[in-house]
Amino acid sequence: MGAALSKILRGGVLLSAALVLLGLVLTAVTADTSSPYGSTELSWILGCDPFLAPSHVLFLGFFALVATPVVCVSASIIVFLRERDIRFTLIASLVLVILLVSFYLGIG
Amino acid sequence: MFPQLYMVYAFIIALGSGVFGALLGLGGGVLLVPLLVFLLGVPIHLASGASIIAVVATSSAATVTYVKEGLTNIRLGMFLELATTIGAVSGAFLASLTSEWVLRVVFGISLLYATATMFLQQRRGERSRIRRRNDQLSEMLQLGGGYFDAALGVDVTYGVGRTPLTFAVSYLAGIVSGLLGIGGGGVKVPAMNLLSGVPMKAAVATSNFMVGVTAAASALVYMRNQCVNAFIAAPVVLGALIGAYAGARLTNRVRGAALKNLFIVVLTILAVRMILSGLGV
């Protein structure tokens, strides 16, 4: 479990740091500070912006970051299942549900 | 002020908060938010929004190391997270409904609580008697844990006591985290260590793991409520990550006690200022 979590966490942080860095570079280069608050509409997040608006890239970075613990919890559910630990499979699943609810509440 | 310069300042503030947070084992958020508010004039909602994103980053990064060292009690953390995440979502929602001034006062009071805890900890020290046995609930869930303490060169095993109480306190930690945009580790660590008898190293490691999940829940609500300004949050996230990394590296070379006292003084001043500004003084 520990090894898997480490990898997920490290990967998530690096990915989001790269996206944030890219976004900041784009901001510096284009001086485009539009949409600072972004939008949590799924269509905006996943939409392909041909001109890569800096705020879009930045928010992608933030979402990657926030998704990381979610992936961790999901991975732990799988591990608990494999260990036949029904109680913790349930507990971790409940935590995931709460996270997804907050995601849903945060989307649109 | 040009947006770009603003962002550089935010980066520097986050860098400093990250370094001191890591050096002193306190989340950077409690220092970050007041500094953004007072030095850059950032509205507290946006400061908390930027901070909560940074907190996900720094706690996730720290957890990598802690998990590798076997200190993190994932079962305990996951169980307590039931309470914390619900608290976090509640708190984050509450934040969007609360005025700037009320949040400032609440933040200041929480900060005073944190400094009081730090101060008492300096004098009393951490709980040295490790709890051996689980209580009923933690026995049922097998929440006790163990790790190899590299510094002492021994295996440490512990049980978890007063589990229902710690569970309840974790809910409060979640609310605080969601409401103020901080990690909440300042509530979680004492709860696990002083209430449940979890050894300090394991408590800190487990708290870090929990904070990432809690902050992620809060962050989504913040983003939805337009409380995350990408151009403030982005430099803050990078600054906090680099600062925390640097601070962790410096930990062995810096004497803790004197720095901690200075930190307590600075935080107390910030806390009082927060409260006064919130009250319109």
The whole-model pTM stands at 0.89
Nearest CA in chain B to A16: B57
CB interface of A with B, residues 72-101, below 8 Å: 72-73, 76, 87-88, 91-92, 94-95, 98-99, 101
Could A27 and B4 be called an inter-chain contact, meaning their C-beta atoms sit closer than 8 Å? Answer: yes
**pLDDT at residue B229 in the model:** 92
pLDDT above 90 (res B248): no
The pLDDT tens digits of the residues spanning B16-70 come to 999 888 877 777 788 899 999 999 999 999 999 999 999 999 999 989 988 888 8
Could A105 and B78 be called an inter-chain contact, meaning their C-beta atoms sit closer than 8 Å? Answer: no
Could B74 and A76 be called an inter-chain contact, meaning their C-beta atoms sit closer than 8 Å? Answer: yes
Could A72 and B235 be called an inter-chain contact, meaning their C-beta atoms sit closer than 8 Å? Answer: no
Average pLDDT estimate for B1-27: 83
Q: Which residues of B touch A24 (CB under 8 A)?
A: 7, 234-235, 238
Determine contact: B53 vs chain A, CB below 8 A.
yes
Q: Which residues of A touch B75 (CB under 8 A)?
A: 88
**H, E, C per residue of chain B:** CCHHHHHHHHHHHHHHHHHHHHHHCCCCHHHHHHHHHHHHCCCHHHHHHHHHHHHHHHHHHHHHHHHHCCCCCHHHHHHHHHHHHHHHHHHHHHHHHCCHHHHHHHHHHHHHHHHHHHHHHHHHCCCCCCCCCCCHHHHHHCCCEEEEECCCCEEEEECCCCHHHHHHHHHHHHHHHHHHCCCCHHHHHHHHHHHCCCCHHHHHHHHHHHHHHHHHHHHHHHHHCCCCCHHHHHHHHHHHHHHHHHHHHHHHHCCHHHHHHHHHHHHHHHHHHHHHHHCCC
Pick from A60-74, B97-111, B248-262, B267-281 the range whose average pLDDT is largest.
A60-74
The minimum CA-CA distance between A51 and chain B, rounded to whole Å, is: 17
pLDDT above 60 (res B192): yes
User: Which of B3, B53, B81 shows the shortest C-beta gap to A95?
Assistant: B81
**pLDDT at residue A19 in the model:** 94
Determine contact: A30 vs chain B, CB below 8 A.
no
The minimum CA-CA distance between B145 and chain A, rounded to whole Å, is: 14
Could B68 and A6 be called an inter-chain contact, meaning their C-beta atoms sit closer than 8 Å? Answer: yes
pLDDT above 70 (res B206): yes
Give which of A15, A25, A65 to mutate to test B binding, by max B Cβ within 10 Å.
A65
